């Protein structure tokens, strides 16, 4: 759009006699400067919204689980907060919780835009909340040190992970 506008101004500039060209040139410069500032401001906003790639390594922190309604059954871990360690290396992950929390996982992971997808490769034969197995798609943010990701699992619980790179 801006290019079309500039082209029209240049066409009109060519048609004007020599005495009026200096006035047109002043107007052109006064219009182009704000346009360039606007474009440069927009490109800064776009670069700030870019997703930083998650660095490989060991992360530790907490998982916070909030159950909705009548969940969980009495035999399950009751939710709250617990410790977690997550290792990311060469597209593979290993997740371990503190002793009081069942679950965890290991397998492959993939990052796409602001989503991280874990594909757990283990077989789980236990009576506990399947949402505690690190598998599926999560929204994430990463600032270079802190990794946060979360998901709502089957509409009955919200899992929030807040980790820091070691």
Task: Using DSSP bridges, classify how beta strands 57-67 and 92-97 pair: parallel, antiparallel or unpaired.
Answer: unpaired
Same domain, 43 and 62: no
Across 90-101, average pLDDT: 90
- Banded pLDDT at 150 (limits 50, 70, 90): very high
- Which position has the higher pLDDT, 139 or 129? 139
Of 72, 68, 141, 128, the C-alpha closest to 101 is: 128
Same domain, 74 and 12: no
Same domain, 61 and 115: yes
Same domain, 11 and 83: no
Same domain, 44 and 110: no
| Residue-wise DSSP of 137-154 | EEEEEE-SSEEEEEEEET
Give the HSE-up count for residue 53: Cα atoms under 13 Å, Cβ half-sphere.
6
Total domain count, the chain: 2
Same domain, 150 and 83: yes
- 10-56 pLDDT, tens digit each: 556 566 665 566 666 666 655 666 555 555 555 444 344 455 688 99
CA dihedral 135, 141, 146, 149 (to 10 degrees): -30
Which CATH number fits the domain that encloses residue 94?
2.40.128
pTM of the complete model: 0.66
Average pLDDT over the chain, rounded to an integer = 79
Across 87-100, average pLDDT: 92
Same domain, 66 and 37: no
Same domain, 37 and 100: no
Same domain, 86 and 10: no
Across 65-78, average pLDDT: 73
The SS3 of residue 91 is coil
Expressed as residue numbers, the domain containing 32 is 2-48
Same domain, 152 and 91: yes
pLDDT at position 45 is 42
Residue 157 to residue 144: CA distance in whole angstroms? 28
Same domain, 157 and 135: yes
Across 79-101, average pLDDT: 90
**Number of neighbours of residue 45 by Cβ within 10 angstroms:** 8
Give the HSE-up count for residue 52: Cα atoms under 13 Å, Cβ half-sphere.
12
Across 152-160, average pLDDT: 88
Across 131-148, average pLDDT: 94
pLDDT at position 119 is 97
Same domain, 43 and 80: no
């Amino acid at each position: 759009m801006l290019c079309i506008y500039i082209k029209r101004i240049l066409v009109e500039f060519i048609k004007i006699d020599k005495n009026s060209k200096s006035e047109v040139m002043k107007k052109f410069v006064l219009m182009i400067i704000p346009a360039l500032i606007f474009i440069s401001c927009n490109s800064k906003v776009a670069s700030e919204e870019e997703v930083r790639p998650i660095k490989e390594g060991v992360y530790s922190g907490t998982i916070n689980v909030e159950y909705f309604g009548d969940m969980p059954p009495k035999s399950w871990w009751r939710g709250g907060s617990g410790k977690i360690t997550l290792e990311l290396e060469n597209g593979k992950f290993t997740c371990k919780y503190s002793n009081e929390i069942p679950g965890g996982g290991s397998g492959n992971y993939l990052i796409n835009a602001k989503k991280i997808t874990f594909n757990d490769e283990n077989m789980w034969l236990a009576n506990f909340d399947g949402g505690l197995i690190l598998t599926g798609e999560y929204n994430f943010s990463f600032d270079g040190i802190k990794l946060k990701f979360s998901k709502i699992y089957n509409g009955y619980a919200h899992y929030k992970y807040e980790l820091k790179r070691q």
